[in-house]
Amino acid sequence: MDAILFLIFAAIAVGCAINLVVQTHPISSALSLIGVMLALAVLYLLLGAEFLAAAQIIVYAGAIMVLFVFVIMLLNAGAEQRVNRAQFAKFLGVPALIGFLGVVSFLIQTLMPNTKDVVFGAFRNGTAEAVGRKLFTEYLLPFEVTSLLILIAILGAVVLARKEI
Amino acid sequence: MGDNFVPTAADMTRFLPELILTVIGTLIMVLEPLTREENKSRLGVIALAGLVAAMWGSAVAAADPGTAFNQMLIVDGFGTFFRFLCIGVGILTVLASFAYLNREHANSGEYYALILYSIAGQCVMVTANELIMLFIGLEISSIASYVLAGYLRDDKRNNESALKYFLLGSFATAFLLYGIAWIYGGTGTTNLTEIHRVLTNRDIAPLAGIVGTSAALMFVGFAFKVAAAPFQIWAPDVYQGAPAPVAAFLSAGPKAAAFAIFLRVYLTAFDTIADRWQPIVVVSALATMIVGNFAALQQSNIKRLLAYSSIAHAGYVMCAIAAHSQIGTQAVMFYMVSYAFMNVGAFAAVTHFARQGERYVNTEDLAGLGVRQPATAALLTVFLLSLIGVPLTGGFFGKFYVFKAALDANLVWLTILGLLNSAVAAYYYLRIIVVMYFKEPGDSTANLQPPAMGIQAVLWGSAAATLVLGIFPSWVLDYAGRSANLVK
């Protein structure tokens, strides 16, 4: 059952990801991205990471995607126009991608040692309580320092968007 | 790693420089709307005071070395050395910025706050003992740098610089993050010492393919941040387009911090697979030197020339990293200090004669500087000679120790090609000196004002430091030597 669910949602994620790249209209790409995020959330849930699944939907599929769509609408971006596509990308892009994915899947398939650890639902520390406890004890400093990162992002937006210098 | 929700006093002491920088940066932002337009320079003075306080904070933190916040940070000699270096670069940058910002009518608190935050990020990076911490520090430093590169929003060159830096930088950071994910997947930890422990233990070590992939992906991220070939393409456009003091900052501060994390990650976590990453670093070092030097030969824009020269210097430093030894680490540390002074000094001179809107940034515009402003020309000559690596300057001993480390590691060909490269480099630096002293003074230097006080301070200070490093290298070298063995 787990394996079937995994395969279905993994297929949805990959299909949406390919669609995201292939589509020429930004809105279609953005909607495909939402599909990828939702499918990923289900995969997290299958592994037992419930907090991450919820955060994935609320933060990524929700808040961040709304921003994406807003920006696309504000910029009034139309379908992508293709000019002077590089010959290099045309002929080498797809083979290089297939080669890279082949190497990565080969490595994961044959070299990953502890496959018995990767079992659906075997991960027990994915609850909001467990994540919160980790964040406020072991990972306290990264958690706090991230606020500085966000502050800089806001400051940067203000600097780049103000009217006069 | 108990459930202690409240950090101990020792934790806070070891995190003191970052705390000071963040608090002062925020203070500047609070004071910014309360300050009148003509008094904005005072915010820069506060920033300077904050940087000096952060230096003091680093010294206090160094008095009590150890790990902090559940091994997230490690305050050791190595980290402290780079903390001092990054904060020092910040002081020089702020000093050089006063005149520039006044000239461009762009004096505002955000500029100083961003510099302080960026340095806080670099301090986190260089003391990080954990890949997550390292990543967050790198992002803080980088995002602040992206904004600084595009600070003069109405200048097209600034926009181009910021956009290129941002897009390519984010792309490279993604590689670094993917590498972190791989090593976490393989070892189950992101702590550098833990990773080292897992990798040296044959029973639980993941297979080499996973570690190698992770190291390779992280190499892409690091090589981008230090502008090493083949990931150097962004540097000339970014340095040329960014405001001159910001270019000085970018070429010294974030670069030093990036080399620090490069060394720390590769010499602690990936130490066991050194024979695998060493050839890659050697090839990259060689390519970086050649690309930097030969491209610099053809430049007429002096900021672009200095950008290519900074790529070439990253190549020399990579030679010392490839040596994979304590003496190599020591050489990197010494090189970064002498490079910071001579490069920030050269950029400060560029800041001075570029004038409003950075109109005069071609090498030909320097014609007659030796007659019109002998002092400035002499100081710029000191920096250029040091960049060449002439004896009695810091650049000489920097190169000397780098190539000595490479020779000790039996990298004979790399050393020979590196030396040939520095001979090529002499041509384009000397060309600037020739233009300054032997060309007829033209219109470009006719109405040049004497340098502003801040720029004077940077020029004299950096020149003095360059000469001191060239005459008494042991002052810095001994400290670096004592700290270098803590990494390995």
Q: Is residue A105 part of a domain?
A: no
CB A57 within 8 Å of CB A36: no
Residues of B in contact with A140 (CB under 8 A): 5, 7, 69-70
Question: Is residue A105 predicted with pLDDT exceeding 90?
Answer: no
Q: Is residue B246 part of a domain?
A: yes
What DSSP string runs through B198-257?
HHH-TTTPPPHHHHHHHHHHHHHHHHHHTT-TTS-THHHHHHHHS-HHHHHHHHHHHHHH
Question: Is residue B148 predicted with pLDDT exceeding 90?
Answer: yes
Query: Structural domain of residue A134, as residue ranges?
Result: 127-165
Q: Is residue B2 part of a domain?
A: no
φ, ψ of residue B449 to 5 degrees: the values are -75, 160
B382-385 CB contacts, 8 Å cutoff, 24+ apart: B382/B342, B382/B345, B382/B463, B382/B466, B382/B467, B383/B342, B383/B343, B383/B345, B383/B346, B383/B349, B383/B462, B383/B463, B383/B466, B384/B346, B384/B429, B384/B430, B384/B432, B384/B433, B385/B429, B385/B433
User: Cβ of A153 and B143 within 8 Å?
Assistant: yes
Question: Is residue B488 predicted with pLDDT exceeding 50?
Answer: no
pLDDT at residue B1, as a whole number: 45
Non-local CB neighbours of B289 within 8 Å, separated by 6+ positions: B312, B315, B316, B319, B417, B418, B421
The length of chain A in residues reads 165
Beta strands in chain A (DSSP E): none
Chain A closest-CA separation from residue B70 CA (Å): 6
Give the residue from A54, A78, A102 where a domain finishes. A78
Q: Is residue A83 part of a domain?
A: no
Give the residue from A78, A112, A141 where a domain finishes. A78
Q: Is residue B111 part of a domain?
A: yes
User: Cβ of A149 and B136 within 8 Å?
Assistant: yes
Question: Is residue B10 predicted with pLDDT exceeding 70?
Answer: yes
User: Cβ of A152 and B114 within 8 Å?
Assistant: yes
Average pLDDT over every residue of B219-246: 93
Q: Is residue A142 part of a domain?
A: yes
pLDDT at residue A114, as a whole number: 58
Residue B45 CA to residue B53 CA, distance in Å, equals 12
Q: Please, what is the angle between helix A26-47 and helix A2-22, to 10°? A: 160
Q: Is residue B396 part of a domain?
A: yes
- Condensed to tens digits (0 to 9), the pLDDT of residues A1-19 reads 778 888 999 999 999 998 9
Residue B79 CA to residue B486 CA, distance in Å, equals 10
Residue A72, burial from CB neighbour count under 10 angstroms (0-12, 13-18, 19+): middle
Candidates B90, B13, B41, B438; CA nearest to B245 is B90
Q: Is residue A35 part of a domain?
A: yes
pLDDT at residue B469, as a whole number: 93
**Number of domains within chain A:** 2
Residue B110 CA to residue B150 CA, distance in Å, equals 13
**Number of C-beta neighbours around residue B324 at 10 A:** 21
User: Cβ of A137 and B7 within 8 Å?
Assistant: no
Same domain, A2 and A74: yes
Structure tokens, B58: 């680093």
Mutation choice for B interface testing from A105, A138, A143, A145 by most B CBs within 10 A: A145
Mutation choice for A interface testing from B132, B134, B154, B201 by most A CBs within 10 A: B132
Q: Is residue A89 part of a domain?
A: no
- Condensed to tens digits (0 to 9), the pLDDT of residues A41-53 reads 998 888 888 898 9
Candidates B141, B136, B14; CA nearest to B74 is B14
φ, ψ of residue B380 to 5 degrees: the values are -60, -35
pLDDT at residue B3, as a whole number: 53
Q: Is residue B270 part of a domain?
A: yes
Residues of A in contact with B120 (CB under 8 A): 148
Q: Is residue B4 part of a domain?
A: no
Residue B158 CA to residue B143 CA, distance in Å, equals 15
Count CA within 13 A, CB hemisphere, residue B314. Answer: 34
What DSSP string runs through A107-142?
HHHHH---GGG--TT-----SHHHHHHHHHTTTHHH
Average pLDDT over every residue of B259-264: 94
Q: Please, what is the angle between helix A140-161 and helix B16-31, to 10°? A: 30
pLDDT at residue B218, as a whole number: 94
Q: Is the pTM of this model over 0.80?
A: yes
Q: Is residue B300 part of a domain?
A: yes
Please provide the average confidence, as pLDDT, over all residues in chain B.
91
User: Cβ of B206 and A153 within 8 Å?
Assistant: no
CA angle B241, B246, B248 (to 5 degrees): 100
Confidence at A113, pLDDT banded by 50, 70, 90? low
Q: Is residue A99 part of a domain?
A: no
* ipTM of the complex model: 0.88
Residue B102 CA to residue B108 CA, distance in Å, equals 10
Residue B207 CA to residue A38 CA, distance in Å, equals 33
CA angle B424, B426, B428 (to 5 degrees): 90
**Number of domains within chain B:** 1
Residue B162 CA to residue B344 CA, distance in Å, equals 20
Confidence at A117, pLDDT banded by 50, 70, 90? low
Peptide bond into B17 cis (omega under 30): no
Confidence at A62, pLDDT banded by 50, 70, 90? confident
Chain B closest-CA separation from residue A137 CA (Å): 5
Q: Is residue A136 part of a domain?
A: yes
Q: Is residue B1 part of a domain?
A: no
Query: Structural domain of residue B322, as residue ranges?
Result: 12-484
Average pLDDT over every residue of B372-385: 92
Mutation choice for B interface testing from A155, A162, A163, A164 by most B CBs within 10 A: A155
Same domain, A74 and A136: no
CB B54 within 8 Å of CB B93: no
Question: Is residue B241 predicted with pLDDT exceeding 70?
Answer: yes
CATH of the domain at A31: 1.20.120.1200
User: Cβ of B207 and A111 within 8 Å?
Assistant: yes
User: Cβ of A137 and B5 within 8 Å?
Assistant: yes
Question: Is residue A165 predicted with pLDDT exceeding 70?
Answer: no
